[in-house]
Structures are given as C-alpha cells and as structure tokens.
Structure 1
Amino acid sequence: MNKLGVHAFVWTAGWSHDDCAHAIAKTAEVGFDLIEASTLDLDAMDVPFTQKQLEKAGIGVTFSFGLDAETDISSNDRDNEMRGEARLMKALALARDLGATHICGILESAFQKYTVPTTAEGVKRAVAVLQRVGEAAARSNVIVGLEVVNRYESNVLNTASQAVDMCQRIGSTHVKAHLDVYHMNIEESDIGQAIIETGDHLGYFHTGDSHRGYLGSGSIDLAGVFRALVKANYQGPITFESFSSRVVGQPLEGILGIWRNLWEDSHDLASHALMYTRAQLKAAHEAQKQAERSRLP
C-alpha cells in the first residue's frame, strides 16, 4: 500500500526548529503517513531535533533537494562533478541519519534553466557519479529518486522514458525514477502511458495540479493518473507538492516562478489533498476490479 505524504513547503519555506516542529506536527494532524523534508542548505537541518519531532508525531520522512551550477554532475566539468558527488553523498548520509526511506529531486543535473542541450559525455559522467551514489544508497537502504522535470528546470531528464534510460545505464536497484505530474503535464504526450511504461523503475511520485494549487482544481486528468499508478502496480510513496507565494520565498520563488498566491490555508489545502488522493486511489482500485466483476456467468 502506498504511503501518502505532503511536501514541507506546504507548511513552511525553511527548516528552523520552529519550522520543523510546525511542519511535522501539522502533517501528522492532517493524517499523512510522511513528510517530505526539503532544503537547499544541507547544513541547516538539525538531524537529532528533526528525528525527535518525527518520533513524537509518529510519521515517516523522505528528503528532497537539488544540485546547483557548481555541483552539476552533468556539466563536463571535473570540479563540478567532484563537488556534486560530495554533495550527493552528504545528502544521502543526512537522509540515512534522518531515517528517510527516499532521497529525491533534481540530482542528475543542476536545478536551473539551461541555455544549451545536454551532451552524451555529460550524461555518461553523471551516470558514473550516480552509480557510486547508488552503491552508497544500497548500503544505507535508501532509494534515490531522479526527478523528471520540465525543460525550464533541467536539460537532462524531461521525460519518463529518459529517466528509465538513465536508470538502466546506472544499473542500481536503489536508483529509481521520480515522476511528478506537474512536470509530466508539460512534457509527456500521454501521462498515463508514461507512468505504466516506467514500470518497476518508478520509485517516487509527486501529485499536484497544472497551476500547483488545490488538487482537482486545475486541468490535469488526475483520475487517469491514479488509474495509471494502480495499473502499474506502483507501491511507493505518493507525495502532494504545492507552492504558493504565501509560503515560499527566494530563491525558490524566483527559480520556480511562484508569483501568485494560489491558496491561503495550508491546513485546508493539505486536508483536501489527502482526501482527494485517498478517493482517487480507491476509485482506481475499484476500476481495476471491473473486468472480474463483469464476467458472464
């Protein structure tokens, strides 16, 4: 059964002690199984304090972040690769110490808009780094999720098929594809088919809607998305991600173009997302049963 989670940025933009305690407590209060903790500053996370809050709330945790230009392992720059590998290993150790089951995000390139396409050599060198990261992840029993994002946030993985290709090249059972329906709505020809074809390579999934507001209030066929997840027999975490100018600040506000206040009440947004997700998963599972229920006597 899928563990259902919510991204910490629904509650707060930072991870101070107050932010951490608030985000974890609210996640548990709404009824989620886990929180996706996220920070671009790995040194800002107090692991023992976070662990205590998670234990107190009785929920699990996943962890996400992204590389930057100076740590871009796809850049064909040896210094960037070395810094990127060190940052990935540091984040993996942090996730392990937190007790996180997954570490995900834009881990195969920089989290930025590129002005040129990726290169075969850049991909090859990124794969080599991620093979070593995968070995460390296996020792730590953590799944690494390579997030597939739109063309304005990376030039390496923009489609599910590219993520499958990279996972196959890496060849680690602990490096998987991280799909996000917001990005798939921009880049995929058929979201449902892309999910199904990702198959066993799918290790983490983000829900959201076309405008990153309330689930079901945008233009994405979310019923079809959940049916595809069930048809693919996906058993991993499903985490709701949403951004509003009410919470996020710089640098994410600028990187992601969060110019509008898409919601006012974090609790209401998250409660709706959990209810909606549970209902869609239930409907998708029931749809799977219709073939058996429709057999002639």
Structure 2
Amino acid sequence: MTDSMTNPLGVHALVWVGDTSPESIEFAVQRTVEAGYDLLELSLHGLDSFEVAHARATIEGASLKVACSRGLSFEADISNEDPAVVERGVRLLRSSIEKTAALGGDILTGALFSALGKYSRPVSARGRANAVSVLRDLAGEAAGLGVTLGLEVVNRYETHVMNTAAEALALADEIGADNVMIHLDTYHMNIEEDDFVRPLHLVGDRLGYVHIGENHRGPLGSGHIDFTGFFHGLADIGYAGPITFESFSSAVVAEQLSADLAIWRNLWADGEVLARQAIAYTRAQLQAAHARPSAPARA
C-alpha cells in the first residue's frame, strides 16, 4: 500500500463533447481544468480532421496531461486473417502513435488488438498471431517516440481476442515489449471478472492505466460496481498511474461512435455536473483506501 495519493485523475473528452474540432477541444480543456482534473483523454477517431498542433497548444497551455485511446474497425482489424485488412489496421495504429506523441502524450491505449465490436466466432490462431506480430513491431516504433501502448481489457461483445486480466497478461507476454502495459476498466470487469480485487493483484505493477465507469456507464455510485473493493485493490498494489473517469451518453457522443459503443439512451445530460460528482467520488474512494491501517507484520 502506498502512503499517499499520487494518481493523476483524468476524464474522457466524451464527457464534454462529441468530436475533436478545435472548438470542442477548447471547450473540453476548459471544463476539465475547471472541474479539477489533471488529465484529458482524447479518442483518436476521425484522425483526418484532428488539428493536432492546436490541440497540443491548448492542452499544454492549461497544464493538463493527455492520454489517447482508440479501437479499430472491422475494415482495419489487425486480428483479421486478410493481409490487406491487417495492413489498414497497421497504418491506422501507426498514425495514432504518431498523433499521440505529437500531442505531447505518452499513452495510447484501447482495443488496439482488434476491431471494437461483436464477433461471431473466437479469434483464429492466425488472426491472433497477426495481432501479436503487429503490436510487437509497433511497440518498437512507439518506444522510439516515448509512447506506451495499453491493452485495454474489454468485454466479449467488443472483442474476441481477450476479455480478462489473465488473458491480457498472456497477450502482453506474447508481444514481449517493455512499453506494452495492461489497462483495466471497471465497466468491462463487471461483465467478465469474478471480482474487482483479484485481477488487480494478478496484474500488479504491469497495470499502467485505469478507467472507472459504472455498470451502466452512468454517474459513479449510481450502479452496483464494487468501487470500494476496486480502490482498495489499487492501494494494495501501490498503483500510482492515471485513473480516468469514462461515461457516455447519447446526449453528447457523436452518432457513429454512439452506435459503435451501443449508447442507446441518455444516461445524463449535463457533463459538468457528472464530472464534478465523479472527481469528488474518486477522491473520497482514494482517501478511504489509503487511510486503512497497514496489516500487522507476521511473526
């Protein structure tokens, strides 16, 4: 257990805005700072229209950290068996790594290993081998730019490559790169894991990024996720990395991404109220977890 709370607290830009236009970036950065967060996570969908230099200047001007995330499409899926499809995924991931570095970020995470969507069958041996090979090569390129790649553990309805912390560790071991880390998300853990503590102990110091979100993706504490156990588990392993609040509502998320994420209803309408409540809730959980007395030494 660590002695103090050192985690950068982040919020996903989709809490504030549905796109990455310059105006939306400025709005998201302003609201992130006003709500008291340290980090803004940007989804790198729509790369062609993303004005990176403007975004970096805006983020750095506000003294914020930035992390980037993305998933792949079925037309650019590195776990596919078709070399042409895999190559499209390679180009998309390489561009995303370059954009992350250009933004001043050092983390690109998400479902980097497959399309983000429901598959009709398990990943094939060849498809898995393709994903491992691509990520091994791209991890080398990312290292040269100071970027760490995160393997976000997502549920069975959003990938067929891996769905649990144990499977993520196996995939990371196959990739075999020092700048590939595990990313856990309470929303997905709620579907796939037996509890919210043992996966944290299993991953240990290979955990590099955390998403906190409710089981229905609404306000923290309004669902049934065991955040007490989860934050105690983070304290157990001495996790000091980013903790980013992620919540989606069809009131904000762009139509295509809303469809990709199956956001069919408005879980909230006011991102500012949501984000302020989330950071207060997170700080309280961290404080409670770190206030526990240390276990007595064994004889």
> What TM-score comes out, normalization by structure 2 length?
0.95
Query: Is 1:291–2:290 an aligned residue pair?
Result: no
2:78 maps to 1:77: no
2:237 to 232, 239, 243: 232
Specify which of 99, 102, 117 is matched with residue 104 of structure 2. 99
Contact 1:147 1:157 (C-alpha < 8 Å) held by counterparts: no
State the SS of the aligned residue for 2:45.
coil
Q: Which has the higher helix share?
A: 1
Q: For CA contacts below 8 A with separation 6 or more, give which structure has more relative contact order.
A: 2
Q: 4+ residue stretches of structure 1 with deviation over 4 A?
A: none
Distance (Å, rounded) in 1 between the aligned partners of 2:16 and 2:45: 16
Deviates more, 1:204-213 or 1:51-60: 51-60
Letter in 1 for 2:206: H
The question of 1:249 aligning with 2:254 is answered yes
Unaligned runs of 5+ in 2: 1-5
Partner in structure 1 of residue 193 of structure 2: 188
Shift of 1:201: 2.1
What letter is aligned with 2:295?
A: A
Q: Which letter does structure 2 place at the counterpart of 1:39?
A: L
Residues 192-239 of structure 1: CA deviation (Å, up to 9, x unaligned): 101210112211110011111111110000011111111122221110
Aligned pair partner of 2:284 in 269, 279, 282: 279
List gaps (5 residues or longer) in structure 1: none
Instruction: Say how many residue pairs are matched.
Output: 294
- Pairwise CA RMSD of aligned residues? 1.5
Per-residue deviation, residues 136-181 of structure 1 (Å, max 9, x unmatched): 1211111111111111111112111111001111111111111111
Q: 1:1-297 maps to which residues of 2 (within 5 A)?
A: 1-287=6-292, 289-292=293-296
Q: Return the alpha-carbon distance in structure 2 between the equivalents of residues 56 and 97 of structure 1.
A: 15
Superimposed CA distance per residue, residues 238-279 of structure 1 (whole angstroms, 9 cap, x where no aligned partner):
100000111013212222221221112211110111111111
Measured after TM superposition, the shift of residue 73 of structure 1 is: 0.6
Identity of aligned residues (%): 46
CA contact (8 A) 1:95 1:103 kept: yes
User: In 1, are the aligned partners of 2:185 and 2:211 still within 8 Å (CA)?
Assistant: yes
